[in-house]
Amino acid sequence: MGVTVRFARGDDAEAIAGVHVETWRSAYAGLLPQEVLDGLSWRQQTRRWRRAIRNPEAELGQVFVAEGDGIAGFGSASRETGEITTLYVRPVAQRRGVGRMLFCRMAEFLDGPVSLWVLDGNPAAEFYRRLGGRPGVRATVERWGMELSRTRYCWPAVSGRA
């Protein structure tokens, strides 16, 4: 599968929302409450991603897509905070280098130190370690009526290294 990474456009919102719902249900089963995963709405996510794509200055930052045979994955990165705010690859496209491509493109976009938060227990932590990320502070956030622990992974500067 030939995959390229590019900035997302408004008309990618539906496909991104589909990948979002599918990937959350697969990756977060057992980590987040099942009713939260069951309640994910493709329509709602389509609206959310359309807003995010139109407002790269907002919290999530610039949205990227990895496109092969359709949208294989997406991510977002904020220059304001140096953070990768989302990174998701469809289960069927995982372990083929798509996550690495998205990560490297977003790190290049950030052009400096990079950080991101990983939910404790998420196997994605190993992916970030393979890409040279170092686990740093841990913190808890309250969401959906529960305390979630997460760890911050950091890269001093990534260009050319991941």
Q: Can you give the binding site for ligand COA, defined by CB under 6 A?
A: 23, 27, 87-89, 94-100, 118, 122-124, 126-127, 130
- Report yes or no: 53 and 64 within 8 Å, Cβ to Cβ: no
- Quickly count: other Cβ atoms within 10 Å of residue 57's Cβ: 9
Task: Compute the least distance from the CB of residue 153 to ligand COA, in Å.
Answer: 9
CB of 19 to ligand COA, least distance (A): 9
Pick the closer one to ligand COA by CB: 54 or 93: 93
Three-state SS at 154: strand
- Taking alpha carbons only, the member of 137, 64, 57 closest to residue 106 is 64
Q: Residue 5 or residue 13: which is nearer to ligand COA going by CB?
A: 5
Using the minimum distance from each CB to ligand COA, give the nearer residue, 13 or 118. Answer: 118
Environment class of 2 (CB within 10 Å of its CB; exposed 0-12, middle 13-18, buried 19+): exposed
Provide, rounded to whole angstroms, the least separation between the CB of residue 132 and ligand COA. 11
- The secondary structure element, H or E, covering residue 141 is strand 134-143
- Closest to ligand COA by CB, 65 vs 89, is 89
Distance in angstroms (rounded) separating the CA atoms of residues 119 and 45: 20
Closest contact distance (angstroms) between CB of 7 and ligand COA is 19
Q: How far is the CB of 73 from ligand COA (least distance, A)?
A: 6
Q: Provide the token pair at 63.
A: 């949205």
Taking the C-alpha atoms of residue 87 and residue 76, their distance in angstroms, rounded to an integer, is 7
Whichever of 54 and 113 has its CB closer to ligand COA, that residue is: 113
